[in-house]
Amino acid sequence: MSSVSEYGDSTRSVHEAEGPHGLHEPLVPPIYQCTVFEMDEPEAYESYRDTPYLRHNNTPTQTAVARKLAGLERAEDALVTPSGMAAIYVVLSAHLKQGDHLVTFDNLYGGTAKVIADLERRLGLKVSRLDIRDPASWRGVITPRTRLIYGETVMNPLLTVCDMEALATLGRETGIPIAVDNTVATPLGLNPIDFGIDFTIHSASKYLNGHSDIVAGVITGSSVRLKPLRVAMAEWGVSLDPNSAFLLHRGLRTFALRFRAQSDNACRMAAWLATQSAVRRVHHPSLTPTAHPLATPPALLSFELDCSGPACEAWMRQCTLARVAPSFGGFATTLCRAMASSHASVSADARKQLGVCDSLIRLSVGIEDVDDLIADFETTLAQLPRLAA
Ligand SMILES: Cc1ncc(COP(=O)(O)O)c(C=O)c1O
């Protein structure tokens, strides 16, 4: 655990894993654009394994950003990966083999749901997809073949918040490891490790980097839990390149500052949207404050416009500040229909069952002045009757 762990989130974002300090030392750790380092005792296998090598994720640029991420998630250790999907795939593949049972939830990020369906087919996995809003039903599905429980702390696009106490209790009582994707909540929303969750996963491409210029991922947990994953990643060749690791480290220095501003803006946008007659429904945890354990509310929200899917598309393209783009978590406000992003790979019937209708718009709120964003929406929502005609 880091020496700055007792400080607040902004201080840790800035100061974690920034050394060495001293006269003429650089204030920013340099980028080691280098595959391999000189080796001690060449005959010892352990020495070979410990020698920094890019594929082993143990070069200084990779380990510095991993230490910062572990600190932010209040975890002992972290592994950086070349994308969020790579982090998810590593955790699933390292725990599951033919015939095993996976417990998961029914409204996961579409990319993850697709990978699980694929593993289900190829490995003959048994998969239980639970309703995240009904913790009472979770206990009954555990079997002697259950090897992993996989969830998301805040689910995208409906912003459903998982009951972390109930999830951690399930893990404690059954001894089954639990992994959660904490991308939408971020470490400022909650730290799953504090609840007793074994692994957290992030698409660092989103808020952690925040500049919409790299894809990366991270898995955090205890050193013991991460050790087999570290070995598997080195064997499978899953590693983050030094340029992306350096940029992620740079992005993380302003993570707390950015995310707080984005979260405040999102709360303002959610409250404003909820008063608009053209808006049928708004999904954001700040609108039901007693129902969630999040220290900082998400910077993502979704809302249903009172019109058809094509009219929504036409409306989105009238906005001048918010740009139409499928990802989220960047510095600039973006929007898109959920059916074209998080749930693009989900069938129309399944989307309907999950409550992801064609006019559901996902809004990733940036760091702009929120009054400008509201003015943009006010102008364009006034045009909706014409666009919908
Ligand atoms: C919740 C969530 N997890 C994981 C991912 C995958 O991340 P990446 O695009 O970095 O592979 C995404 C991508 O949108 C996501 O929304």
Nearest CA residue ID for atom 8, ligand 1? 84
**How confident is the model at residue 124, as a pLDDT?**
94
> pTM value?
0.95
Complete DSSP assignment for 1-35: --TTTTS-HHHHHHHTT----STT--SSPPP---S
pLDDT of residue 1: 40
Is residue 329 within 6 Å of ligand 1 at its C-beta?
no
244 touches ligand 1 (CB under 6 Å): no
Ligand 1 contacts CB of residue 341 (under 6 A):
no
Catalogue all structural domains in the chain, each as residue range(s) with its CATH number: 9-253 (3.40.640.10), 256-388 (3.90.1150.10)
Active site residues: 55, 109, 181, 206
Q: Which of 91, 92, 109 to mutate to test the pocket of ligand 1 (most atoms within 8 A of CB)?
A: 109
**What's the pLDDT at 51?**
84
Q: Decide: 110 in ligand 1 pocket, CB within 6 A.
A: no
Distance of CA 145 to the CA centre of its chain: 28
Q: Consecutive 10-residue runs of the chain (389 residues): their mean pLDDT?
A: 76 92 92 91 67 93 97 97 98 97 94 95 96 91 97 94 95 97 98 98 98 98 98 97 98 98 98 97 90 91 95 95 95 94 82 88 98 97 89
Pocket test for ligand 1, best of 203, 215, 238 (most atoms within 8 A of CB): 203
Give the pLDDT of residue 44: 63
* Ligand 1 centroid distance, CA of 327 (Å): 8
Query: Which of 156, 158, 183, 240 best tests ligand 1's pocket when mutated (most atoms within 8 Å of CB)?
Result: 183
Question: Quick check: 218 and 183 in contact, CB under 8 A?
Answer: no
Q: CA-CA distance, 205 to 103, in Å (whole number)?
A: 26
Cα dist. 217→90, 241, 276, 335 in Å? 11, 12, 37, 22
**Both tokens assigned to 235:** 């064997």
84 lines ligand 1 (CB under 6 A): yes
φ, ψ for residue 77 (rounded to 5)?
-150, 165
Give 3-state DSSP helix, strand, coil % of the chain, rounded to 5.
Answer: 40, 15, 40
Q: Which pair of structure tokens corresponds to residue 76?
A: 């002992």
Torsions phi, psi for 2 (to 5 deg): -80, 160
DSSP secondary structure string, 64-82?
HHHHHHHHHTT-SEEEEES
Q: Is the dihedral of CA 303, 304, 305, 306 positive or negative?
A: negative
pLDDT at 41 (0 to 100): 72
d(CA 376, CA 109): 29
